[in-house]
Each structure stands twice: as structure tokens, then as C-alpha cells.
Amino acid sequence: MSKTNPGEFVQQVRREMAKVTWPSRRETMVTTMMVFIFVAISAVFFLLVDQVLSVGVKAILGLGGQ
């Protein structure tokens, strides 16, 4: 493997960065909102699953609150 001097490395990095297709501001905002929506849906789903499993385990172990 050949050594690359720092100047060549910086030039290579700049060339590669020029090839990158960056998302528009609108694409970034839409994607961010979709992530927040899916995180919220996932949180509600896992809360419901946790509650159902908790009730089931308590029923099996006879730990019903009285």
C-alpha cells in the first residue's frame, strides 16, 4: 500500500465530497418528521405490548392487586 501525503489526502477527500448528493432542506425535514412519527408509533406499540405482557405475567403468577 502506498503512502499518501496530507495534501493529496485532502484533495482526494474534496473530490469525493463533490460526488456526494446532499438532500435538500425539504427532504431532510420530511425524513426527520417521518422518523419522529415512527418513533412515536413504536413507543405506543411497545407500551401496549408491555402492558399486555405485564397483565399476563401477573395473572399467571397470581399477583393480582387486591
Q: Name the domain count of the chain.
A: 1
Residues in contact with 61: Cβ distance below 8 Å, sequence separation at least 6, in sequence order: none
Q: Is residue 40 part of a domain?
A: yes
Domain membership of residue 55 (yes or no) is yes
Report if residue 39 sits inside a domain.
yes
Expressed as residue numbers, the domain containing 62 is 24-66
Please say whether the beta carbons of 43 and 50 come within 8 A: no
Residue 8 lies in a domain: no
pLDDT digits 0-9 by tens, 4-60:
889 999 999 999 999 999 999 999 999 999 999 999 999 999 999 999 999 999 999
Whether 17 maps to a domain, the answer reads: no
- Alpha-carbon distance of 37 to 59, in angstroms, equals 33
- Tell whether 16 is covered by a domain: no
The residue behind cell 500500500 is 1
Query: What pLDDT does residue 63 have?
Result: 82
Model confidence, pTM: 0.64
Residues 6 or more apart in contact with residue 63 via CB below 8 angstroms: 57
In a domain, 64, yes or no: yes
Residue 31 lies in a domain: yes
